[in-house]
Amino acid sequence: MDLKDTPKGRGTSRSKVWSTLVQQRFLLLMSLPFLIWLFIFQYLPLWGWVMAFQKYRPGRSFSEQQWVGFDNFVQLFADERFYLVLRNTLAMSFMSLVVGFTIPILFALLLNELRLMWFKRTIQTIAYLPHFVSWVIVAGLVTKMLSTQDGGVNDLLLFLGLIDTPISFMAEEKLFWWIVTISDMWKETGWNSIIFLAAMSGIDPEQYEAATVDGGGRLRKMWHITLPGIRPTIMVVLILSIGWLMSIGFEKQFLLGNPLVVDYAEVLELYILNYGIKLGRFSFGTAVGIFNSVVSIILLLGANYVFKKITKESVI
């Protein structure tokens, strides 16, 4: 019989747990404010989900609210606009996932190869700065750059002779997804590369020295040492990114969109704002939010299961 199954073994195990808790008591105390914040702002608001099953009217007590069951969800899935919005959300989220996941890895690989530390730090600082710029400012810059009057992009294309007349980029529906994706890539590439650079710093330098002795060039080192070394980080970030696929936000679409491209710009968060909150349909907006959360959980658990089976890497 295993010693752990005996009373003495269980007592020893409990004593080790308590000993560990005592040793790490300061770390636990440091994490306590975060746990309180998490409970207040993330878990406590879940009580509001009951509105999705009511015909909620502000100012009335809980007992006075009218219960309607799944009527709000029936309205949601019967609305043709919802499927158009869902298409836009998934399309832009997928494009953002592909571009916003691969480009930071490539950027981190190239940055990691720089030998002049002052130059490396300068590039890092320049690349990180756009993350701290408000989307209001970014949207203004993008709109100005793509303008048909003195817009930098149109002026460059005209100078190169690639076009004869300026292109109204912001009025082209099918270009909107690309405009959002490229704008987001410019803004977040430097910031998203931080975690990969941190993972690269943990790779044993002796592996590179051994590869140099064996005649390996920089590309071979990146392929056979750097990428395998950060593979666990890549897998975890990819799984979490898939879990956030439905939570694309709405700032980019709200600020860059206009009535001419609304059929390609509206996403779930904007749909909740326009057809839920603005119209006083709080229960309908809550139903859309629940749908979004449930799909996100399914995507996260599904991606975690698949990657755990294939790559043996997982989040949970």
Which residues, 6 or more positions from 210, have their beta carbon under 8 angstroms from its beta carbon? none
In a structure prediction context, what are the per-residue pLDDT tens digits for the chain, which is 316 residues long?
444 555 555 556 677 888 888 888 888 899 999 999 999 998 898 888 999 999 998 888 888 889 999 999 999 999 999 999 999 999 999 999 999 899 999 999 999 988 888 999 999 999 999 999 999 999 999 999 999 988 899 999 999 998 899 999 999 998 999 999 999 999 999 999 999 999 998 898 889 888 888 888 888 889 989 999 999 999 999 998 998 888 888 899 999 999 999 999 999 999 999 999 899 999 999 999 999 999 999 999 999 998 888 887 777 7
Distance CA 142, CA 32 (A): 42
CA-based angle 133:135:141, to the nearest 5? 85
**Whole-angstrom distance, CA of residue 89 vs CA of residue 78:** 18
Q: What span, in angstroms and rounded, lies between the C-alpha atoms of 257 and 118? A: 40
Given this model, what pLDDT does residue 274 score? 92
Q: If you write DSSP's letter for every residue of the chain in order, what string do you get? A: --GGGSHHHHHHHHHHHHHHHHHTHHHHHHHHHHHHHHIIIIIGGGGGGGGGGEE--TTS-GGGSEE-TTHHHHHHHH-HHHHHHHHHHHHHHHHHHHHHHHHHHHHHHHHHT---HHHHHHHHHHHHGGGGS-HHHHHHHHHHHT-TTT-HHHHHHHHHTS-SS---GGG-HHHHHHHHHHHHHHHHHHHHTHHHHHHHTTS-HHHHHHHHHTT--HHHHIIIIIHHHTHHHHHHHHHHHHHTTT---SHHHHHH--GGGHHHH--HHHHHIIIIITTT-HHHHHHHHHHHHHHHHHHHHHHHHHHHHHHS----
- What domains, with CATH codes, occur in the chain? 1-69 (no CATH), 73-311 (1.10.3720.10)
Cα–Cα distance for residue pair 193/187, rounded to 1 Å: 12
Global pTM reads 0.85
What was the pLDDT predicted at 16?
82
Alpha carbon 13 to chain centroid, angstroms: 40
Length of the chain counted residue by residue:
316
Q: Which two tokens stand for residue 129?
A: 């700065």
How far from chain centre, in Å, is Cα 92?
Answer: 12
Q: How far apart are CA 8 and CA 178, in angstroms?
A: 64
Of residues 91, 93, 104, 92, the one with CA closest to residue 130: 104
